[in-house]
Structure 1
Amino acid sequence: MSVKSMRQAADNRAAHNQAQINAQTSPLAALRRALEWVMSEARSMSPADVPAVTTRITRVARDMNERSRP
């Protein structure tokens, strides 16, 4: 695959997933759809990139957990 076609495929995936997220009526359904997109994109990640992305996602989860505490 050429770089141009890979870029187009990524743009198409992004547009499709963003439309799916925007179409959700529930905020939690939109969150679930966004997380599914993350997992889908993770399949094509370089193993070297996984720890950094895991750290970012863990930071978001920890922040959400802190906010839910009374």
Structure 2
Amino acid sequence: MAHFVNKDEGFPLLEQIKSLGDGELLDFWEESQYLEKFLDDDAEESGAEYERLILQELMLRSCIRPISPR
């Protein structure tokens, strides 16, 4: 399972997301969606930021991967 560094340690969330494998990234996305249900309304903006960063990284990865021949 992925391990995220505390914000105070100076390792930005975007860099943490980039360091995750595809499966770990999808797990983190799923967990963030699940946890968002339990957080108050102020945390929804934070959850939206996680989702935006994860989707951005997945789109970037899909553009970079070579297309495998069929």
TM-score range relative to shorter protein: 0.3 to 0.5
Structure with bigger RCO (C-alpha 8 Å, 6+ apart):
2
For the pair shown, which has the larger CA radius of gyration, 1 or 2? Answer: 1
Task: Give TM-score scaled by structure 1 length.
Answer: 0.43
